[in-house]
With several copies, the nearest count.
Chain A
């Protein structure tokens, strides 16, 4: 199915839309061309989704294919698992990614394992979209970044788009991947814009993107942190520091090769993500690099800049300090490049 769509097409200069719009456009176009695709989640119909991603889709496709559920995260996830297992391509929405705590059994014990447990004979081609991240003042129970939990679950794939262009193309690949895919959308990213092709296109899963080439330091960043790292790179360029920013796009399977080659080139690595640092995805990247051929090229310790090891606080200022901001990336990158460690 994916063959139908162009891969990584160039983005037309003028067509700048937000990430919310890109996702909505992708969902609409996918549903228009494939009746096996449907949407399911809390308040995705007439409400349009808590972040507006599905706004208007129920008018076009009706309540059967844009399906509001009661507040029952386990059953709504099961609705995806069971329908995917029997010929459909469900796209679920977890209104806030935090609520996935109530759907872990269906995702981890069922969706991820069904194929393997049954000897490779069943498939669960579902996508679960999750609105993740802090910065909206919603405090500890509405601001989680839990992607590394799922990276740790064989059978699942984990995708984290970093802008509108990436979001649309990765969504298409996720829907037709044939496996259960966790698709984490950052809430602050929703309102950011960039150029996005109008037609459906795909960005392959498992392929990282060198979002910016540079020679002094590799930053591996995910989701909204790619944008922040690019901004940091712009600022540091003024000081003559050239950062390379690598966006893995897919956290599992991870494109080791692109990451390793970048570190071999720059000799230095900084990993940036919003999720709590301890136990997070940064550890996986650090460990892979430290075990890889790039190890011998490392000119400095591997550094991580993750979220602080704390729940997200409500207060606006505290909240900002709990996760990496552009200035934190600038400072950390500068230190690493200048040999402070």
Chain B
């Protein structure tokens, strides 16, 4: 079997071209953001282990390329983002303030949601980051509304909506793609196929190989790509965004990727093998991209280390900010329910 990441690999020539278009500054920024996501997730895990945060959390370690390549191929802050439960990475890639993310994660008043939302619900409304989601596929119907609003307001925005392979089995997927298609709404349906919905593999949860192939049921064009290669991600999302902006209606994308950690902290991961995990870890998007940047002469090895260290420092700073932030006052308990 060809590994999915290889099967849908970006053509090397095209990869070079994309990298060239991005240029050294943006390339460097991509790498930095991927490291920042990795650092955020690792810190999240640590804080959870220390009992400093509670609840649940869904780490995107291994999927950083998807977040970074995606957000940067649309107009962050102008376009809309509807995020899902495994959403820290997309939030960071969107450029939402990391201090306030960390504060939210730690349930602080200075967090994006004043500590009311937590890991699963981080939103940055001012920047059109319309929030993460605790309901699998819950943002798909909303994306129809956002797309419709764009159409009625006649702007050239698009709505990017993220969901998982598991989410593609919810009825909401079907209704939303159909509705977006008949009205030619500017919605980019982005499926991060990380091979599992909690414990259920894609192989067990559906009888076809690719989620992207479901686009055909709605007359929606689709594309599959190596979700562990930030250039492939960027290239596909750029194509999708351009297609959408040209008025052709929605696009369905499928990133083939993998999550390294358990679904959430309670996961004993009995449903997959160590070998499988290792295979995918060998495709770690961060060193892959770092190597490319070095190869292209955009960075030296030492730059990579500087960038990495900087990212981890950013997260330390965010933790310091969050730790120093006040808890919400119980007197404000019932604020923010109604307008």
Interface residues of chain A, those whose CB is within 8 Å of chain B, are: 38, 42-43, 45-48, 50, 64-65, 67-88, 90, 98-99, 101-102, 105-106, 109-110, 114-123, 125, 136-142, 154-155, 157, 177-179, 308-311, 313-318, 321-322
Chain A residue at minimum C-beta to C-beta distance from B262 = A47
Decide if B4 is an interface residue (CB 8 Å cutoff): no
Name the one of A46, A77, A83 contacting B270, with C-beta atoms under 8 angstroms: A46
Pair A75/B134 contact, Cβ less than 8 Å: no
In contact, B206 and A70 (Cβ under 8 angstroms) = yes
Residues of A within 8 A of B120 (CB): 138-139, 141-142
Interface segment among B149-157, B230-238, B285-293: the answer is: B149-157
Q: Smallest CB–CB gap between B278 and chain A, Å? A: 20
Q: How far is the CA of A68 from the CA of B270 in the complex (A)?
A: 14
**A82 and B146 contact, Cβ closer than 8 Å, known pairs A109-B135, A122-B131:** yes
Residues of A within 8 Å of B208, CB to CB, are none
Q: Complex formed: what's the CA distance from A123 to B82 in Å?
A: 15
| B143 nearest in chain A by CB position | A82
User: Is B92 an interface residue, CB under 8 A from the partner?
Assistant: no
Interface status of B1 (Cβ within 8 A of chain A): no
Contact of A314 with B271 at beta-carbon distance under 8 Å, contacts A47-B199, A75-B144, A155-B338 already known: no
Q: A76 — which chain B residues lie within 8 A by C-beta?
A: 179
- The answer to whether B153 and A87 have CB atoms under 8 Å apart is yes
B328 within 8 A of partner (CB): yes
Chain B minimum-CB-distance residue to A90: B145
Shortest Cβ gap from A327 to chain B (Å): 13
- B181 to chain A: closest CB distance in Å? 10
Beta-carbon contact of B270 and A79 below 8 Å: no
Contact of A179 among B172, B271, B338 (CB under 8 A): B338
CB A128 to nearest CB in B, in angstroms, measures 13
Residues 99-123 of B contacting A (Cβ, < 8 Å)? 107-108, 111-121, 123
0 or 1 for each of B35-47: is its CB under 8 Å from A? (1 = yes): 0000000000000
Known: A78-B145, A82-B145, A121-B125. A72 touches B171 (CB 8 A): yes
Say yes or no: B146 contacts A119, CB within 8 Å: no
A47-B268, A71-B205, A75-B175 are known contacts; what are 20 more A-B pairs with Cβ within 8 Å?
A64-B151, A71-B137, A71-B169, A77-B141, A78-B143, A78-B145, A82-B141, A118-B113, A123-B339, A137-B56, A137-B118, A139-B120, A139-B134, A140-B116, A140-B121, A141-B120, A141-B138, A310-B334, A313-B333, A317-B327
Contacts of B170 in A (CB 8 A): 71-73, 102
In the complex, which residues of chain A have a beta carbon less than 8 angstroms from the beta carbon of B112? 118-119
How would residues 122 to 134 of chain B score, 1 for a CB under 8 Å from any chain A CB and 0 otherwise?
0101100011011
Q: How large is the interface on B (under 10, 10 to 19, 20 to 34, 35 or more residues)?
A: 35 or more
B54-A137 in contact (CB<8A): yes
| CB-based nearest A residue for B53 | A137
Our pick among B53, B125, B337 for the contact of A122 (Cβ within 8 Å) is B125
The residues of A that contact B266 with a CB separation of less than 8 Å are 50
Instruction: Give the distance in Å from the alpha carbon of A114 to the alpha carbon of B83 in the complex.
Output: 13
The answer on a CB contact under 8 Å between B116 and A38 is no
Partner of A117, one of B53, B121, B166, B268: B121
From A124, which residue of chain B is reached at the shortest CB distance? B339
For B296, list chain A residues within 8 Å (CB).
none
Q: Please tell me if the beta carbons of B198 and A139 are within 8 angstroms of each other in the complex.
A: no
The distance in angstroms between the C-alpha atoms of A147 and B108, with both chains bound, is: 31
Q: Which residues of A contact B137 (CB under 8 A)?
A: 71
Is B251 part of the contact surface with A, judged by Cβ < 8 Å?
A: no
Closest to B183 in A: A67
In the complex, whether B222 has a CB less than 8 A from a CB of chain A is no
Contacts of A114 in B (CB 8 A): 131
Once the chains bind, are A70 and B123 in contact (CB under 8 Å)? no
B117 touches A72 (CB 8 A): no
- Asked if B9 lies at the interface with its beta carbon under 8 angstroms from chain A, I say no
A residues in contact with B115, CB < 8 Å: 119, 313-315, 318
Are A79 and B336 interface neighbours, CB within 8 A?
no
User: Known interface pairs A47-B270, A82-B145, A119-B336. Does A137 touch B55 (Cβ–Cβ under 8 Å)?
Assistant: yes
